A and B are shown apart, each in its own frame.
Chain A
Amino acid sequence: MNQNSATNMTLPQASRFASDVDSLVAFITWGSVILFVLITMISLYFLWKYRRIGAPTFTSPISHNNQLEITWTLIPTVLVFIIFFWGFKSYLDMRVIPANSMELKVTGKKWFWAIDYPNGTNSVNEMVLPVNKPVKLLLSSSDVIHSFYIPAFRTKMDAVPNRYTTMSFEPTMTGTFDIFCAEYCGKSHSGMIGKARVVTESEYAKWLEEAESGGKMSPVEFGAKLYTSKACATCHSNDGTANTGPTWKGIYGAKHKMADGSEVVVDENYLRQSMLEPNAKVVAGYQPVMPTYQGVLKEKQIDALIAYIKTLK
């Protein structure tokens, strides 16, 4: 990763409106600290000053004071209205989508993010963005509700099945930033983590080219890259470890028992079918939970993945 990945406890302000959100947070924090210290000090002072010594006695008949009541109703009212308007104003900055935005389609699936770019390229769990260019995300989900969250950008939005939601931001800093799923979505909710990689305009163009065809990489290298970039690794290990799906180690050429009782020899056609129609033939002992990669994987990418799987012995 690079210098901007959030490995320390300070969250970078990596979008146009991030600093405004942080300023509002700071404003509320200062107001809260002042009020809290005031309340605590007064309480502790009274506790000490009016502590009972000896037997209980009759105490003061003071029971109310209208001026005080009005004061401590009005001042907080004014303060919270300031906070409301500030929050509303920066909300508008988040919600009004600039006309020159680059539009990406983001689909949440259990348990990864599929991202489609304007030129037809797609990526999984890695959102590559050119710096200083406004972005509009068109979000949806293919199963349950997810929530697309980039802390460094200070914004999130739910991805809902059968519906589009939108979010927009403008990355202002190059670097790699965490993408989380913030809406609980089942078993691997906490594994539904991606990266937003903000790069210069020229790096972005180069990445688009490589993501499409693997550039100068060999099929095996490209397949190894796709194994992580298309989130196969979330459910399939490449070293024999048990996971949500069968491990890829030694899977090519092996004979597997299917959930319906039949037996299948894992060959190129079976692997291809498992990517495009994953629930047609499910290996016995596994849940039919894999989403289809139809439309996500290009022909050349399927070839590369098969080439990579063959090398895992």
Chain B
Amino acid sequence: MAALMETGVKGSTHTATAGRTRNFLNSPKGIMSWIWTVDHKRIGVMYLFAVMFAFFLGGVFALLLRFELIRPTQDIVGPDMYNQLFTLHGAVMVFLFIIPAIPASLGNFVLPLMIGAKDVAFPRLNLMSFYIYVVGACFAVYSLVTGGVDTGWTFYTPYSVETQTSVIAMTLGAFILGFSSIFTGLNFIVTIHKLRAPGMTWFKMPLFVWGMYATSIIQVMATPVLGITLLLLILERAFGIGIFDPAMGGDPVLYQHFFWFYSHPAVYIMILPGMAIISELIATFSHKRIFGYVPIAFSSIAIALVSFIVWGHHMYTSGQSELAATVFSFLTFLVGIPSGVKVFNWVVTMYKGSLTFQAPMLYAHAFLCLFTIGGLTGIYLGAISVDLHLHDTYFVVAHFHYVMMGGTVIAFLGGLHYWWPKIWGRMYDEFWALVSAALIFVGFNVTFFPQFIMGLQGMPRRYYTYLEQYQSTHLLSTVGTWILGLGFIIMAIYLIRSLYIGKPAPKNPWFGLTLEWTTQSPPITENFTQTPKMLWHAYDYDRVLMDENGMVTFNPNAEDEHAHDGRAKHTNGRNGKSHIEETTRSFN
């Protein structure tokens, strides 16, 4: 059966369905073959389960928090419990979910496929990174069952040194998780440098790969600083070394500098992969050559680099010098510009496309809307005088949820739906996918938009009781979380259902052109039957059409690409259009 597939005989329109062919899911069989697997796809799938579990856990914490906040007084939990809930919500969502979510799960699965590689450069390191993640997660869970942590996910000193909760277990967990993140980043950098298919030059890489590359740079360069910081914090707590302790001549604000030196770039570890997915979704579902490939690729790199020199905007009120605050404010505005450039390019990509509004595209549009709001509200916070008012209020909470959830999580869900057929070889129910996406979009806005208003009214964050004037907006926000929760429950049902009764997925359900769509769904363990040849660019929708089954038609009337793409001078295995004799051929 597999042999038949691999030949890709012209005219063969049937892709064999999941379960009947050999693929990475069913071969080899047995639990041990998963535990010791070095296949990037299996590791990606294991990561997917892990991060989805973390997302569920963090989500439950969020629902409880919002439930407590329905009324201004104490309702279901006491202050200690509440403080632990918001700390765990933040720590679980940041360290266990959002940082590994896209790179380690979807990225692991898709990146080698996209560049036509058999695996990542260091498959064993990849597996080790997963198990390091598991060990780190165990420490986090251990801290949770031994009394929790109540410092906020930022672990600010001196509070984190004084509190009686299990800070050491949690920070040790985050420290260990950092190594998992560094290894993934390192692996991707080497993979992208060394394992691209013959003919795939840097500027022929799919933009997802560019985004992953930028992300990996930050993971490798910034995460060690977090490691050092958390280690110092652990030493401070365990042995009282005094580096952050004012009573011993230390400086608690130094901790904030160290922490944000990592954690601001980490914001881009979270959002860049989201942007990377959106570039793919917009191009595929517009069925159109991406607009401004080079600006989109370079803006990712620009964001990655500038992200290292803006950390002080988290500290305008910390007592840092006025000069420092001013310089950081100026640099902060610079980082907004490449993000804007991306949004404009995505919108214009749709111009003269052939657009379908399927679930992944719905998420891409939700992203455009929510990320734009998230980005624009960042401008308020970059302006120093406005930030002095809004810092540590619900405005900030709303802003970063619009970027992190409205941006990254929505992009992650878009990517999950986009590659779901490739991962499992099954299609999900499109109708329920649209219903769930709509509920999530509405629920998200009902939850977080009122928080902008509340923040402008001065409501501080991390309050478990509050003054009565904020009740109506708090109530609205809580109702929003129920709509969100319903959307996610529906998603969980139809996604799990699709694994059992979903229609078999073809090779290329969305008529995409990147290499992962040229192989079967789910792919074989080796990814491709032969080393892929670069017969077209990732976004050549003007001259190449690949149907659901991987049959390819070249456009006999295509303009010579030199006329419109000055950078792509390579002819890519063909010698100009006049030499194309067969216009239809199968690929791989």
Give residues in A with beta carbon < 8 Å to B: 6-9, 11, 17, 20-21, 24-25, 28, 31-32, 35-36, 39-40, 42-43, 46-47, 50-52, 56-65, 68-69, 72-73, 76-77, 80-81, 83-84, 86-95, 143-145, 147, 149, 151-152, 154-158, 160-163, 165, 178, 180-191, 193
Contact = CB atoms under 8 A, between A and B. Distances in A.
Contacts of A52: 287, 354-356
Interface stretch (B166-174, B429-437, B462-470): B462-470
A51 B379 contact: no
Contacts of B159: 144-145, 184-186
Nearest to A244: B79
Contact of A154 (B379, B388, B465): B388
B559 interface: yes
A161 B326 contact: no
A210 B198 CA distance: 86
A61 B541 CA distance: 8
Q: Which of A35, A46, A147, A181 has the most CB of B within 10 A?
A: A46
A50 B352 contact: yes
Contacts of A43: 347, 350, 365, 368
A25 B542 contact: no
A108 B386 CA distance: 23
Nearest to A149: B460
Nearest to B285: A52
A47 B558 CA distance: 24
| The 5 A-B residue pairs with the shortest CB-CB distance in the complex, in nearest-first order | A151-B458, A87-B383, A162-B246, A190-B463, A90-B385
Interface in B436-476: 453, 456-458, 460-469, 472-473
A64 B288 CA distance: 12
Q: Which of A84, A155, A178 has the most CB of B within 10 A?
A: A84
B352 A59 contact: yes
B529 interface: no
A89 B383 CA distance: 10
20 contacts: A21-B385, A25-B386, A36-B372, A39-B344, A58-B557, A59-B542, A61-B543, A61-B561, A65-B292, A68-B344, A69-B345, A95-B322, A147-B391, A151-B393, A155-B389, A157-B317, A160-B319, A184-B83, A185-B159, A190-B79
A50 B541 CA distance: 14
B555 interface: yes
Interface in B79-95: 79-80, 83
Given A46-B355, A163-B253, 19 more contacts: A9-B473, A11-B457, A25-B380, A32-B376, A40-B372, A46-B353, A47-B350, A50-B352, A58-B543, A62-B289, A80-B379, A83-B333, A91-B325, A95-B322, A151-B458, A160-B253, A182-B393, A189-B83, A190-B79
Contacts of A180: 458, 460
A37 to B, nearest CB: 10
A28 B386 CA distance: 10
A111 to B, nearest CB: 10
B294 interface: yes
Contact of B386 (A24, A58, A147, A151): A24
A187 B559 contact: no
Given A36-B373, A60-B288, A60-B289, A20 B385 contact: yes
B150 interface: yes
Nearest to A40: B369
B318 interface: yes
Contacts of B469: 6-9
Nearest to B316: A91
B17 interface: no
A84 B392 contact: no
Interface of B: 79-80, 83, 150-152, 156, 158-159, 162-163, 246-247, 252-253, 286-295, 317-319, 322, 325-326, 329-330, 333, 336-337, 340-341, 343-345, 347-348, 350-357, 365, 368-369, 372-373, 376-377, 379-380, 382-389, 391-393, 453, 456-458, 460-469, 472-473, 511, 539, 541-543, 545, 555, 557-559, 561, 563-565
Contacts of B472: 9
Nearest to B346: A43
Contacts of B464: 190
Nearest to A74: B337
Nearest to B339: A76
Contacts of B350: 43, 46-47, 50
Contacts of A72: 340-341, 344
Q: Which of B163, B333, B383, B393 has the most CB of A within 10 A?
A: B383
A39 B368 CA distance: 8
Contacts of B385: 17, 20-21, 24, 86-91, 93-94, 154
A155 B106 CA distance: 43
A160 B252 contact: yes
Contacts of A59: 286-289, 352-354, 541-542
A43 B563 CA distance: 27
Nearest to A190: B463
Given A160-B252, A184-B156, A63 B565 contact: yes
Nearest to A20: B385
A56 B545 contact: yes
A61 B289 contact: yes
Given A52-B287, A87-B384, A186-B163, A47 B355 contact: yes
